[in-house]
Amino acid sequence: MTKPEGLPDHIQHYIGGELVDSVSGETFDVLDPTTNEPYITCAAGDKADVDKAVAAARKAFDEGPWPRMLPRERATYLYKIADEVTKMHERLAARESFDSGLPIRQASGQAKRAAENFRFFADLIVAQIDDAFKMPGRQINYVNRKPKGVAGLITPWNTPFMQESWKLGPALASGCTVVLKPAEFTPLSAGLWVEVMENAGIPEGVFNIVHGMGETAGDALVKHEDVNLISFTGEAATGRVIFGNCAPTMKSMSMELGGKSPAIVFADCDFEAALDSTLFGVFSLNGERCTASSRILVERPIYDKFVEAYAERAKKVKVGEPSNPDTEIAALVHPSHYEKVMDYIEIGKSEARLVAGGKRPEHLPVGNYVEATVFADVAKDARIFQEEIFGPVVAITPFDTEEEAIELANAVEYGLAAYVWTSNITRAHRVSHEIEAGMVWINSHNVRDLRTPFGGVKASGLGQEGGYRSLEFYSIQQAIHVCLGDVHTTRFGASGYADNDLGLGGPGA
Distance of CA 187 to the CA centre of its chain: 16
Our answer to whether residue 371 is catalytic in this structure is no
Q: Residue 249: what are its φ and ψ, rounded to 5°?
A: -105, 5
Alpha helices (runs of H) in 352-473, residue ranges in sequence order:
383-386, 402-409, 425-434, 468-473
For 311, half-sphere exposure in the C-beta direction (CA atoms, 13 angstrom radius) is 18
- 8 A C-beta contact, residue 178 and residue 171: yes
d(CA 70, CA 337): 45
Torsion of CA 323, 183, 91, 100, to 10 degrees: 0
Q: Considering 84, 96, 256, 465, which one is annotated as catalytic?
A: 256
Kind and range of the H or E run holding 477? strand 475-483
Write the CB contacts of 106 (distance below 8 Å, at least 6 apart in sequence).
Answer: 284, 285
d(CA 461, CA 108): 29
d(CA 112, CA 89): 7
Neighbours of 291 (CB within 10 A): 25
Q: Considering 290, 321, 371, 465, which one is annotated as catalytic?
A: 290
List Cα–Cα distances, 162 to 108, 166, 254, in angstroms. 11, 6, 17
Our answer to whether residue 256 is catalytic in this structure is yes
Write the CB contacts of 308 (distance below 8 Å, at least 6 apart in sequence).
Answer: none
Q: Which residues are catalytic?
A: 256, 290
